[in-house]
Amino acid sequence: MPADALRFSGVDVYYGESHALHGVSFSVGEGRVLGLLGRNGAGKTTCMNTTVGLLQPRRGDIALFGESISRLGPEAISRKGIGLVPQGRRVFKRLTVRENLVVASRRLPGRQAPKWTLDTVLDEFPRLRERTSHYAGNLSGGEQQMLAIGRALISNPRVLLMDEPSEGLAPQIVAGVFATIAKLKSQGLSIVLVEQNPKLVIDIADDIVVLNSGSVVIAETTRSIHEKNIDVSRYLGVVSAEDAVS
């Protein structure tokens, strides 16, 4: 049984007095891809922001390879090895492609050679190599997504969080992005993939967690989803509460 790369244990998160996550628990195995699904407002991005320390859980714990990170600040969590590809890309629009990558690059502790460097990232995304001196704000949506992924990779994360990487992209570009995710998975990177599109996620993920109104309603392996014939999309579309639980 592989070790847990990331574990949520009974995490409660509030925005002021608004209860956003209700005792959320799930874990991501090392080298596995976890698909985190849910409709708008289900709490997916809140999970991501809590993992990277932008939000503090009021109760519960988050552990990275067994080490609690839920009381650390965002910069410390990042240094522990969590990389985030944020929703909406959020590249530094007034920095060039090269600067976006350089600013995120990080040396690993000791003399360990980093897997991801400027060169290896640009090899992975040749389109970015052609545009290293361009401002990120002048890139297309697909190129910005490549840059956002490259920026997360160059920090040499142990766990990669990807928040809706297909959002706003043409189908052909989405296919390219998911091919990259499949490649990263094959290299053994632990990935949490947040998406609204269940088809895309189920094709690539090992485990599926579905959130509804801040609570986990499904936590199964993808194989179990298929075997038990669970209709994940019921929790993602606009359906009545009765339909969802029946």
Q: Of 45, 46, 50, 155, which one interacts with other proteins (CB under 8 A)? A: 155
Q: Of 1, 17, 66, 94, which one interacts with other proteins (CB under 8 A)? A: 94
Beta bridge partners of 218: 210
**Strands 33-37 and 207-212, bridge-based pairing:** parallel
Q: Report whether 162 contacts 193 (CB < 8 A).
A: yes
Q: Of 22, 39, 129, 134, which one interacts with other proteins (CB under 8 A)? A: 134
Q: Which is nearer to other proteins, 54 or 219 (CB)?
A: 54
Task: Spell out a b/e string for 62-83, using b for 16 or more CB atoms within 10 Å of the CB, else e.
Answer: bbbbeeebbebeeeebbebbbb
The residues in 25-84 that bind other proteins, with binding defined as CB under 8 A, are 52-54, 73-76, 78-79, 84
The pair of three-digit structure tokens given for residue 162, joined into one six-digit string: 């990807």
Q: Which residue, 92, 85, 63, is CA-closest to 154? A: 85
Q: Is 137 in the site for other proteins (CB under 8 A)?
A: yes
**Which single residue is written with the structure tokens 């401002």?**
135
CB of 182 to other proteins, least distance (A): 25
Q: Is 99 in the site for other proteins (CB under 8 A)?
A: yes
Q: Which is nearer to other proteins, 86 or 165 (CB)?
A: 86
Which residues of the chain form contacts with other proteins (CB under 8 A)?
52-54, 73-76, 78-79, 84, 86, 90, 92-95, 99-100, 102-106, 134-135, 137-138, 151, 155
